Amino acid sequence: MNLFKSTVGRKILMAVTGLCLVGFISVHLIGNLSVFAGPDGINAYAEHLHALGPLVWVFRLIMLGLFAVHITFGVQLYLENRAATPDSYAVQKSLVTTFSAKTMVFTGLIILAFLLYHLLHFTVQITNPDISAHNLALDAANRLDVFTMVTKSFHNAFIVLVYIVAMVALTLHIFHGISSWVQTLGWSTGTSQDKVTAIGKLVAIAYGLAYIAIPLLLLARIVK
């Protein structure tokens, strides 16, 4: 199908899957922020999620599909673009492009690596068995004590560092991504693009700050 081969088709696929993934991190962020409401917040949230049963698996499959498309074409386009530019200039100069735009594939791969770690850490819970929710006592309302798992994890400076690095990469990634989709989907009319780009960059920074706030505030014991 042309969509999967064409230069524009694949670009549109990147934008659409990217948008869906931004939707995912938006929902994820709202869920995460419930940690600030204490054990009753995040433990209840986790319980609700688990109660969805098979739907969770449907959701996970969709996510897998989105990631697969986004990563496959992202890497493929990157390799094609590398091949199209075999030689570099003696004097390299960027006029308007951003560090974020130039490093999409790298930030993307960092996010992928982080994603695997993150799943092992909080979903499969095998990286830090001593503080994983499965091994902790249930909370007062007989729920898995996700809150304690999260706070204890983020009292570990190394884990916090990993998360911060990953979230910086995520911020950079969506910094370009969120400002691009209007253009890619053909809704830009020129004048509107500047505004969308500016808003996109602000949103990316806001997401980044919010995500980084969680481990950082926990580490600093500002949130207990």
Binding site for other proteins (CB under 8 A): 2-3, 6-12, 77, 80-81, 83-97, 101-102, 104, 176, 179-180, 182-190, 193
C-alpha–C-alpha distance, residues 164 and 213, integer Å: 9
What burial class does residue 203 get, using C-beta atoms within 10 Å of its C-beta: 0-12 exposed, 13-18 middle, 19+ buried? middle
Judged by CB, which is closer to other proteins: 8, or 56?
A: 8
DSSP secondary structure letters along 82-111: HHH--S--SS---SS--HHHHTHHHHHHHH
Q: Give the number of other Cβ atoms within 10 Å of residue 59's Cβ.
A: 13
Judged by CB, which is closer to other proteins: 94, or 123?
A: 94
Judged by CB, which is closer to other proteins: 77, or 217?
A: 77
C-alpha–C-alpha distance, residues 45 and 35, integer Å: 9
Minimum gap (Å) between residue 67 Cβ and other proteins: 19
Minimum gap (Å) between residue 136 Cβ and other proteins: 44
Minimum gap (Å) between residue 107 Cβ and other proteins: 13
Minimum gap (Å) between residue 105 Cβ and other proteins: 9
Minimum gap (Å) between residue 68 Cβ and other proteins: 19
Judged by CB, which is closer to other proteins: 57, or 187?
A: 187
Judged by CB, which is closer to other proteins: 85, or 123?
A: 85
Judged by CB, which is closer to other proteins: 94, or 142?
A: 94
Minimum gap (Å) between residue 84 Cβ and other proteins: 3
Residues 74 and 108: beta-carbon distance below 8 Å: yes
What burial class does residue 188 get, using C-beta atoms within 10 Å of its C-beta: 0-12 exposed, 13-18 middle, 19+ buried? middle
∠ CA 169-58-133, rounded to 5°: 65
